[in-house]
Amino acid sequence: MINDKVREILNEQINKELGSAYIYLAMSAYLADIGLYGFAHWTEVQSREEIDHAMILYKYILDRKAKVVLKPIQIDNEEYSGPVEVCEKIYEHERMITSSIDCVAYLTEDECDLATRNFIDWYLNEQIEEESSVLKVLSKFKAFGSEKASLYLLDKELGEREYSHQTYES
């Protein structure tokens, strides 16, 4: 069993992960619209992984015999000036998610819920990868994005990203 405070913050985190999926999907639509189909694919894969992140929390809450409460998902439909700004927004967003996960970890410690604290390690590690992978893409766009031939090759490379279903075990 998990207590009400822990249950509430985990449900909020489900909402944030699904919000992330929505944001990445909106970015994917924008990128497809400007012809960057590879980066559009990359963000679409990320969107699917965010749904997995939400589902890991969803299953955990159910496993602990607590109530899942799904709240409305609200995002701002932002305008972007190009792929560099998309990467910058992703990085900013992922840093916000990292802080949010940190808060979950702190709360579980305060509530002496060590099982959930242990569970949250998966997300703490995942956030290191999330921040680092977008910074790599950002630096590539900054280095190669201004010339058409190299932009084409970079976009092609991003289009090769494969979706792998994320689970608590993976």
Q: Which residues bind ligand OFO (CB under 6 A)?
A: 17, 20, 50, 53, 94, 97, 130
CB of 31 to ligand OFO, least distance (A): 17
Distance separating alpha carbons of residues 1 and 112, to the nearest angstrom:
12
Q: Which residue is nearest to ligand OFO (CB)?
A: 20
CB of 109 to ligand OFO, least distance (A): 21
Distance separating alpha carbons of residues 71 and 81, to the nearest angstrom:
31
CB of 148 to ligand OFO, least distance (A): 30
Distance separating alpha carbons of residues 44 and 140, to the nearest angstrom:
19
User: Cβ closer to ligand OFO: 17 or 44?
Assistant: 17
Q: List all residues 6 or more positions away from 72 whose beta carbon is below 8 Å from its beta carbon.
A: none
User: Cβ closer to ligand OFO: 22 or 152?
Assistant: 22
CB of 138 to ligand OFO, least distance (A): 15
User: Cβ closer to ligand OFO: 23 or 107?
Assistant: 23
User: Cβ closer to ligand OFO: 94 or 113?
Assistant: 94
CA proximity to 56, closest of 94, 2, 10, 100: 10
Contact in structure between 15 and 50 (CB atoms under 8 Å): no
Distance separating alpha carbons of residues 75 and 38, to the nearest angstrom:
24
